Amino acid sequence: MMSNPKNQTVHRFYRIGGVKNYYVFCTAMLAALLMVSLILFSACGKKAPPIPPTYVAPPVVNGLQIMLKDDIMTLQWPVPEWEEKDENALAGFFVYRSQIALSDTGCEDCPVRFKKAADIRIDNNKSNGSYAESLEKGFRYSFKVSVYTDNGYEGEKSDAATVDY
């Protein structure tokens, strides 16, 4: 009598590991399928571009004044009023400088490039900020000032104050 090939497969399976291994295998496959489906279908809804964090920009510094005494230039400005005293207080000022030779100042439409010249911390007892440096003769100096906060946000740069020396 011929044996049934189906029975041979079943007997071979029982010899390898038995029914217990079959159930362990099926449970593991079901768990893997469940994990894959959770990963694939766990979207939180409609996808959209990220929303940037909102913040209140620090105020703009106004009223820059340049005073010259010999070859020392002093730049002064009032500390702007700021309502965000607690968590985002004003921390200091960045002073930007442009230095162009007077012989090169003929181009009115050319962009003026400013470089950061100083980082000045705010003294809570002062109502004015100031910056001083010695100047070389034969240059046009332009200065801009911006304020920054404790959280690192920088406000817009002020209008330029310019002096020919």
pLDDT value for 116:
94
Can you tell me the mean pLDDT for 76-85?
Answer: 80
For the segment 81-115, what is each residue's pLDDT rounded down to a tens digit?
Answer: 877 666 678 888 999 999 988 887 667 778 889 99
Residues 42-56: what's their mean pLDDT? 74
Q: What pLDDT shows up at residue 94?
A: 94
Handedness of CA 105, 109, 141, 67 (dihedral sign): positive
- The crossing angle, in degrees rounded to 10, of helices 5-16 and 18-40 is 90
For residue 129, how many other CB atoms are within 10 A of its CB?
22
Collect all residues with Cβ–Cβ distance below 8 Å to 143 and sequence separation of at least 6: 64, 66, 75, 95, 96, 97, 98, 117, 131, 160, 161, 162
* Residue 153 pLDDT > 90: no
More confident residue, 70 or 44: 70
